[in-house]
Structure 1
Amino acid sequence: MPITNTDSGTNIHEIADRIYRINTPVTLPGDAGAFSFNQYLIDDDEPLLFHAGLRQLFPLVRDAVATVMPVTRLRHIAFSHVEADECGALNHWLEAAPQAAPLCGTVAAMVSIGDLADRAPRALADGETISLGTHTMRWFDAPHLPHGWECGFMMEERTGTLLCGDLFTQPGPGTTPLTEADILGPSEAFRHVMDYYAHSRDAGALLEKLARTNPTTLACMHGSAWRGDGAALLRALAGELAS
């Protein structure tokens, strides 16, 4: 495992072509056990970091990014929705990467990031694409899936990698960078204990919208990234939520 910080266990692995998972294992308060926080770096002409991460983890993630490329090369700091583990360190990244800007959905830009961020965001509409060079990112609005009016996801179209945020959140340290094993079972068990879903009426339709992109890699924010028939797994999740 490419460890970038021996004290924290922060590590980095390439899970698709020039797409890197940065993983930091943590211990949750009380008896809640082990957990993990992931960020995803796409190294290209205009590099993108998906999830700015918690402020307290910024030095660890910054050092992990630096093992792949100079941090100053970053151009886009993106995230699924406004929450500390998604964008708490956003302004630290904007300071470290002077040419970078926040990249988010139109609702996030309007209600939060236009005020919170030290640099104006670029807002993407549902279905809008942005080219990083050899990678093309497409934004999908997904309000309240699993939570947050401004929630959305990004698909890297060439590699079929869906940056799926809090979907399929798995407990544990996330030791395996990329797995083909079951993640729906562990993530559903975790959800039943700590239900973080909004259970909106549109959840099924939104999951179907994501399924139609036919992803082959799911880049989860917590736990292992996953490789396989992403459309089938997203539809299986929709079935669980509807039951």
Structure 2
Amino acid sequence: MALRTDEIADRIYRFSTFVPEVGPSGFTFNQFFVDAEEPLLFHTGMRALFPDVSAAIARIRPVEQLRWITFGHVEADECGAMNLFLAAAPHAVVAHGVLGCEVSLDDLADRPPRRLADNEVMDLGGHRIQHIDTPHAPHNWESRVLYEQTTGVLFCGDLMTQLGDGPALTGTDLVEPAARAEDVFHATSLGPAVPAALHRLAELRPATLAVMHGSGFTGDAARALRDLATVYEQRM
């Protein structure tokens, strides 16, 4: 497994590892690094990916300068290496929504996490990160996303998941591939919270969707989010 690094926006990097054994056509596991005065990592990857992800960060900034460790919800592929990064970066802190901290992270994280209120903004110095609670969207009670206000990048976690190994960014429609991935994995909570969250995120009018599994999207991201909401509304 080889990790690829791509800059998807100004000083925002995507680290991608393709695992051909997952699903019918392979699957990517993506992490995102925001190179700011207070550097931020969105998704840590599983513990087995820690050597590759930390090496990718080190090619941009020393790993020990990492300040914020973040992820969408509590799963191995999103935060499995959390405590390894806390050990490698002595000033790093996990930042998550209040619910995620209360339910899991106050106990799981080796240092106390920072609790973020819905819509709270973290000024990283050069980038501004908005925390948005999305409970049960696409799954897990403590789910959330991050929105980088200066570049318009929406770190949307498992939303818009696709199979295969595409480019880091595409302007091609991802809604149909996301629907096919849902047919394979059935990973999304089919309830009203999902389309409601997608419509809410569309109101941000993001410039880029940073997707955890599959390609990111540039173009009319608001329309893509609304179209995906329609897919789930129809499936309900």
TM-score normalised over the length of structure 2: 0.97
Query: Which one-letter code corresponds to 1:173 in the other structure?
Result: D
- For the pair 1:19 / 2:12, whether they are aligned, the reply is yes
* Equivalent in 170, 183, 199 of residue 179 of structure 1: 170
Structure 1 residue 167, shift from structure 2 partner: 0.6
Q: Which runs of 5+ in 1 are unaligned?
A: 1-7
Separation in 2, partners of 1:28, 1:168: 20
Contact 2:162 2:214 in 1 (8 A): yes
Partner of 1:25: helix, strand, or coil?
Answer: strand
The aligned length equals 234
State yes or no: 1:108 paired with 2:100.
yes
Percent of aligned pairs with the same amino acid = 47
1:83 maps onto 2:78 in alignment: no
Paired amino acid for 1:209: R
Q: Which string of whole-angstrom CA distances, capped at 9 and with x for unpartnered residues, describes residues 153-211 of structure 1?
A: 0000010000000011111123x111111211111111012110111222222111111
What is the root-mean-square deviation of aligned Cα atoms in Å? 1.0
Match of 2:109 in 1: 117
Query: 1:105-148: CA deviations, max 9, x gaps?
Result: 11111000000010110111111100000100001100010100
Q: Please name the residue that 2:195 is paired with.
A: 204
The residue aligned with 2:205 is 214
Which of the residues 39, 42, 57 maps onto 2:34?
42
Q: In structure 1, what residue type is equivalent to 2:193?
A: D
For 1:81 and 1:195, how far apart are their aligned partners in 2?
Answer: 17
Name stretches of at least 5 consecutive residues in structure 2 with no aligned partner.
none
* Equivalences for residues 129-140 of structure 1 within 5 A: 129-140=121-132
Partner of residue 185, structure 2: 194
TM-score (norm 1): 0.94
Q: Which residue of 2 aligns with 1:160?
A: 152
